[in-house]
């Protein structure tokens, strides 16, 4: 399938890219630019779907940059590009991988398939006010958006031991095909940081990202 979606955000230097995984593992290996040591590491992953997701991320980066880029990770797991100042965040499901890139701002992104049951999110990641705002008609989709939004912010702030229910507050919203979300991250010292997020739904998936 190659590149499924490329979105240049208005008035920013931000790019969101999505790759639909339809290729075989061999085809992805040919499309991806992966150093030999990492290719060996990928080969030891027992789950084929996870191997393909790792390769698809590499293929997507090659498509977006048009040249070889070197992906690595900090000790806390946050990804970075060794030969570029561009900030990056990565997410994936069995069917799609997605990245967000920005030359200046920190970023976060998360994708989930709506086939999953997100009822556990209500118990472990939502505040009482957020639970009260849930819409019974679109409860699972709304829970998925809440989860993706909180995951995207979590990736953006790169903090340890974050309590999603207590430290990340997402303002009331009603699920639509796409839209904007307002959220606040409350640091352990009480400092509050406000964020504006965007989300879109496609092919029974929801994608949420944050910049800045």
- The angle, 0 to 180 degrees and rounded to 10, between the axes of the packed helices 48-65 and 36-43 is 150
Q: Does 3-103 carry CATH code 3.30.70.1350?
A: no
Question: What is the tens place of the pLDDT at every residue in 54-78?
Answer: 999 999 999 999 887 888 888 888 9
Please tell me the distance from the alpha carbon of residue 212 to that of residue 208, in angstroms, as a whole number. 14
The DSSP code for 155 is H
Please tell me the distance from the alpha carbon of residue 157 to that of residue 160, in angstroms, as a whole number. 9
Phi and psi, residue 38, nearest 5°: -75, -35
Number of other CB atoms surrounding residue 171 within 10 Å: 14
118 pLDDT more than 80: yes
Beta-bridge partners for 200: 178, 207
| Mean pLDDT of the residues in the chain | 93
Please tell me the distance from the alpha carbon of residue 168 to that of residue 180, in angstroms, as a whole number. 16
Q: Which residue has the higher pLDDT, 2 or 11?
A: 2
Please tell me the distance from the alpha carbon of residue 14 to that of residue 160, in angstroms, as a whole number. 26
Three-state DSSP class for residue 61:
helix
Question: pLDDT > 90: what percent of the chain?
Answer: 80
pTM over 0.75: yes
Please tell me the distance from the alpha carbon of residue 35 to that of residue 179, in angstroms, as a whole number. 38
Count, residues in the chain: 212
Q: Domain coordinates of the chain in residue numbers?
A: 3-103, 111-211
Three-state DSSP class for residue 177:
coil
- Give 175's pLDDT tier (boundaries 50, 70, 90): very high
- Give 1's pLDDT tier (boundaries 50, 70, 90): low
Average of per-residue pLDDT across 112-126: 96
11 pLDDT more than 80: no
166 pLDDT more than 70: yes
Phi and psi, residue 198, nearest 5°: -125, 150
Ranges of H-type helices in the chain: 25-31, 36-43, 48-65, 119-125, 128-132, 139-157, 164-167
202 pLDDT more than 70: yes
- Residue 189's region, left for phi above 0, alpha for psi from -120 to 50, else beta, is alpha
For residue 130, count CB atoms less than 10 angstroms from its CB and return exposed for 0-12, middle for 13-18, buried for 19 or more: buried
The DSSP code for 127 is -
Question: pLDDT > 70: what percent of the chain?
Answer: 100
């Amino acid at each position: 399938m190659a590149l499924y979606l490329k979105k240049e955000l208005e008035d920013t230097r931000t790019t969101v890219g999505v790759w639909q995984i339809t290729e075989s593992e061999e085809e992805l290996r040919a499309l991806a630019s992966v150093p030999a040591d990492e290719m060996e590491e990928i080969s030891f992953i027992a789950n084929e779907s996870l191997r393909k997701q790792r390769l698809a991320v590499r293929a997507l980066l090659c498509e977006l940059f048009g040249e070889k880029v070197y992906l690595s990770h900090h000790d806390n797991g946050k990804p970075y590009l060794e030969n570029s100042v561009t900030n990056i965040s990565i997410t994936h499901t069995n069917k799609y991988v997605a990245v967000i890139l920005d030359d200046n701002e920190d970023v976060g992104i998360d994708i989930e398939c709506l086939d999953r049951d997100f009822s556990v999110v209500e118990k472990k990641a939502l505040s009482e006010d957020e639970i009260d705002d849930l819409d019974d008609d679109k409860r699972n989709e709304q829970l998925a958006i809440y989860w993706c939004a909180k995951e995207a912010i979590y990736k953006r702030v790169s903090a340890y031991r974050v309590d999603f229910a207590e430290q990340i507050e997402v303002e009331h919203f009603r699920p639509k095909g796409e839209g904007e979300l307002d959220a606040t991250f409350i640091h352990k010292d009480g400092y509050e940081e406000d964020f504006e997020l965007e989300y879109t739904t496609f092919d029974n998936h929801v994608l949420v990202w944050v910049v800045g």
